[in-house]
Amino acid sequence: MHERSRRARSCRHLARSTSSRRTSDSQRVTASQNDLEKARLQLARVIGLPVGQPFVVSAQLPNVPVPDMTVEEALAQAYKDRPDYLAAQERVKAAEATRAAAASERLPSVHVNADVGALGLKPSDTVRTYTLAGSLNIPIFQGGRTQGRIAQADADLQQRRAEAEDMRAEIYYDVRTAFLDLQATGEELQVATRSRELANQELMQARDRFAAGIANTIEVVQAQQSVTAAEEQYIDAMLGYDVAKAVLARSLGDAEAAVQRILGPGTP
């Protein structure tokens, strides 16, 4: 009787433990899915995709060489395609138009009116009439108000030009930084690729020596650990290189076209 009671308690404890693990696993799955969606949002923002545009993340990006362009060519493309800089330029043009309109208020204006008609009691007795009038408007008593509008328009124009110059400097910084990061991560990827190849060669040699009886299992295990470390280093380097390419694509302005050109077709 005592043994059956103990087994029953053990079964109940096992059932509770299994249920607890399932609940914990479900929570981890939910948290992982939430982290995945956040990562997708961050990726879309990094590469500059329009808000809400759907995309599919590939399991492995193709190894696409970076387009052969100089920093000057990249800057020219960014100045031509970056929507934030184009918007800043449009604001400058609008401010220039406002300033020109304010300045034109103090200039004299000429108005000419002409009229052609018919005068008479009957259609058969009508006489054609002509009227021509002209006027000259000289703004004499609006000097202060017009000058105030011009001063305000000048201030707005200077602000818009300063904003455009700041945006141009920011684009220069973004592109230059993206090129430097791409160069650094590319060199890191080359080193990691070579290290992975050497680690695999050392593992093969260790296995050959073990098979020949001139090495022990410790040497093989150490070689396997070196391969694992080299593989992790390669994955990190590849990730950094792909991120650098994505940042460069974003800095060029036309996000979708630049991403497909730099990261490969079909991405995202």
Better pLDDT: 42 or 55: 42
User: 268: pLDDT confidence band, cut at 50, 70 and 90?
Assistant: very low
Specify the DSSP class assigned to residue 111: E
Token output for 61: 């990006």
Residue 180: pLDDT over 50: yes
**Tell me, what's the pLDDT at 96?**
94
Q: Work out the burial of residue 256: count CB atoms within 10 Å of its CB; fewer than 13 is exposed, 13-18 middle, 19 or more buried.
A: middle
The CB-based long-range contact list for 21-28 (8 Å cut-off, 24+ gap) reads: none
The percent of residues in the chain predicted with pLDDT above 90, rounded, is 31
Buried b (16+ CB within 10 A) or exposed e, 87-121: ebeebbeebeebbeebeeeeeeeeeeeeeeeeeee
Q: Can you give the residue ranges of every domain in the chain?
A: 1-46, 47-263
pLDDT of residue 256: 60
| Ramachandran angles phi, psi of 111, nearest 5° | -125, 135
Give the C-alpha separation, 190 to 60, whole Å: 18
Q: What is the tens place of the pLDDT at every residue in 56-81?
A: 766 555 565 666 788 899 899 999 98
Please name the CATH architecture into which domain 47-263 falls.
Answer: Up-down Bundle (1.20)
Q: Mean pLDDT over residues 26-51, rounded? A: 75
Rounded mean pLDDT of 26-47?
Answer: 76
Phi and psi angles of residue 150, each rounded to the nearest 5 degrees, phi first: -65, -40
* Position 114 confidence tier, pLDDT thresholds 50, 70, 90: confident
Residue 174: pLDDT band (50, 70, 90) is very high
Beta strands in the chain (DSSP E): 109-119, 127-137
Distance CA 178, CA 258 (A): 13
The count of residues in the chain is 268
Given a contact cutoff of 8 angstroms between Cβ atoms, the answer to whether 220 and 206 are in contact is: yes
Count Cβ atoms within 10 A of the Cβ of residue 138 and give its class: 0-12 exposed, 13-18 middle, 19 or more buried. Answer: exposed
Evaluate whether 246 touches 39 at the Cβ level (below 8 Å): no
Helix (H), strand (E), coil (C) string for 68-80:
CCCHHHHHHHHHH
In terms of DSSP bridges, do strands 127-137 and 109-119 run parallel, antiparallel, or are they unpaired?
antiparallel
Only one residue has tokens 């395609």, namely 81
- For all residues of the chain together, what is the average pLDDT? 80
pLDDT tens per residue, range 123-170: 667 777 778 787 777 777 765 777 888 889 899 999 999 999 999 999
Task: Measure the CA angle with vertex 265, ends 233 and 81; round to 5°.
Answer: 100
**Predicted TM-score (pTM) of this structure:** 0.62
pLDDT digits (tens, 9 = 90+) for 181-239: 999 999 999 999 999 999 999 999 999 888 888 888 888 899 999 999 999 999 999 88
